[in-house]
Amino acid sequence: MINWHITDLCESYEEVRRPLLRLARTGFVMKRMTDLHVLIDEISATYDIPESAFLKDWRARLKAERYWRMKGFASCLERLLESYRCNADELLTLLAYDFRKYSEDIYTPYEREIISYVYEQVCNECDVCMVSVPKWFIPRHEITEENVNYLWRNGDYLWQNVNVNVERAPGGDLCVYQTAIWSELNHPHVTRLLGACHVGVGTFYVVEESDGITQNVLSRLDQAAQLWAMNTPHQSLWELLLGIALGLQYLHERGIVSGRVSPDKLLVSTTSNMANFFGGDLMLLSRVHPACTETFEF
């Protein structure tokens, strides 16, 4: 299925200001181009349409364009590397991710050669042996939204043809640590994590889309007190509280606690009345100072 408008895809690619970050999208962009070519071929075969001179020229131009882009990256690599001497985590992660995902089926031999060479040179320049890409890593350019320039605006997001929600995350090692814990959890009252991006500006979590608008639990309880008084709200209220308790119990049984249990972490769907615990700020109990595990009275 083609879910990317080719014009938007190319414009988004060209708008990336740092050339080597564009290089790190090579497989991603070419996979969509390949899908388009396959679709055109299937339509032509189905309706017995001969390939036009325009399509032949387009394929030849794309092949040449791929070659000359790699040639350009290789010829000015030394100059391009200057901006990565201090911090190349984002570039190395994106290069490794794209290579791992697309090098066998999508890359041309020359693209494989150049991208491998660039990766090695960046590692040498920054004195880094290698970068490990977590299995849960999702790069920003794989998330689509009605207006891709506003990643944090409320709206519909897509990842791998699935509707998702995007939430802010801490950057660097803290994001890696918390995501490694959260990604292993599977419980109906703990929001399911699909992946995260821990590098670059604007790190984020990608979580399953809720069935309806969510609000924090205090807002829902307040509404219940004001609006549901005539509709026997007690069962609904107890279901919400039970869901929260079950989610926390699931975490505690695995030696996991939240660094900050607050109303904004306890979400309730407006349609299913399901309470979920949002998994940010998770940590293993073994890494928590004993003084932080005392029971507080309210």
Highest mean pLDDT of the ranges 233-242, 250-259, 287-296? 250-259
**pLDDT at residue 62, as a whole number:** 95
Q: What is the percent of the chain where pLDDT is above 70?
A: 73
The pLDDT of residue 31:
95
Taking residues 40-59, what's their average pLDDT? 91
- The 10s digit of each residue's pLDDT in 101-130 is 999 999 999 999 999 999 999 998 888 877
* Average pLDDT of the chain to the nearest whole number: 81
Confidence of residue 297 (pLDDT cuts 50, 70, 90): very low
Give the pLDDT confidence score for residue 234 in this predicted structure: 52
**What pLDDT does 293 receive?**
44
CB neighbourhood size of 213 (10 A): 10
Q: Inform me whether the pLDDT recorded for 187 exceeds 70.
A: yes
Q: What is the pLDDT of residue 215?
A: 52
CB neighbour burial string for 64-86, b if at least 16 within 10 angstroms, e if fewer: eebeebbeebeeebeebbeebee
Domains of the chain: 6-126 (no CATH), 140-293 (1.10.510.10)
Distances (CA, A) of 208 to 16, 120, 135, 165: 28, 36, 17, 6
For residue 148, pLDDT over 60 is answered with: no
- As a whole number, mean pLDDT of residues 283-294 equals 56
Say what the pLDDT of residue 47 is: 93
Comparison of pLDDT for 40 and 276, the residue scoring more:
40
The rounded distance, in Å, linking the Cα atoms of 15 and 25 is: 12
Using an 8 Å Cβ cutoff, are 243 and 275 in contact? Answer: yes
For residues 92 and 128, the answer to whether their CB atoms sit within 8 Å is yes
CB 168 within 8 A of CB 204: yes
Rounded to two decimals, what is the model's pTM?
A: 0.83
Q: Do the Cβ atoms of 28 and 141 come closer than 8 Å?
A: yes
Phi, psi of 271 (to 5 degrees): -105, -45
Q: What is the mean pLDDT of residues 182-204?
A: 92
- For residues 52 and 223, the model is more confident at 52
Give the percent of the chain with pLDDT over 90: 46
Query: For residue 256, what are the CA distances in angstroms to 12, 26, 95, 137, 180?
Result: 40, 39, 33, 22, 12
Max avg pLDDT among 47-51, 57-61, 107-111, 229-233 = 107-111
Q: At what angle do helices 217-227 and 234-253 cross, to 10 degrees?
A: 160
Decide: residue 162, CB within 10 A, 0-12 exposed, 13-18 middle, 19+ buried. exposed
CA 183 to chain centre: 13
Structure tokens at 212: 């309806």
